[in-house]
Amino acid sequence: MAYGIGVVARSVAVPAPGIDTAAHGSCQVTQGIDTVACRVGVAAHRIGRVACGVAVPAHCIDTVAHDTGMVVQGIDTVARCIRIMAHSIGVLAAVRTIHTGTAAEQTSPVR
């Protein structure tokens, strides 16, 4: 993942396509998709940096970062829906709601 001013990165632990990303301003938006041995869910808490990650299925994360200019998302991995709004110095990025295709994909374990 890339962390820094004007950069927002995310890792999505869903084995399904259909990710809609809307980047506003001059910021960059990068994505990394982890389907096996996913161990995301840790965000870097530094001024002007935004990171987001998805935990294991049936796990819900609601986190607020502790540093200035930093907001970490709340993730509902049970429904496989991700709503991320990152606010940082010179950065405004929004990741729209993501839905996977089948029920099997929605309930498949992620390690």
Cite the beta strand spans of the chain per DSSP E: 7-12, 21-24, 28-33, 50-53, 60-62, 74-76, 81-88, 91-95
Tell me: the pLDDT tens digits for 54-106? 333 323 333 333 333 333 343 333 233 333 333 333 333 333 333 444 444 44
Tell me: the pLDDT tens digits for 2-29? 334 344 444 444 333 333 333 333 333 3
pLDDT level of residue 42 (50, 70, 90 thresholds): very low
62 burial via Cβ count (<10 Å: 0-12, 13-18, 19+): exposed
Six token digits for residue 28: 């960059």
What per-residue confidence (pLDDT) applies to 86? Answer: 37
Closest CA to 51 of 19, 9, 93, 7: 9
Q: What's the mean pLDDT in 47-56?
A: 35
Query: Domain-by-domain residue ranges, the chain?
Result: 7-106
What per-residue confidence (pLDDT) applies to 110? Answer: 52
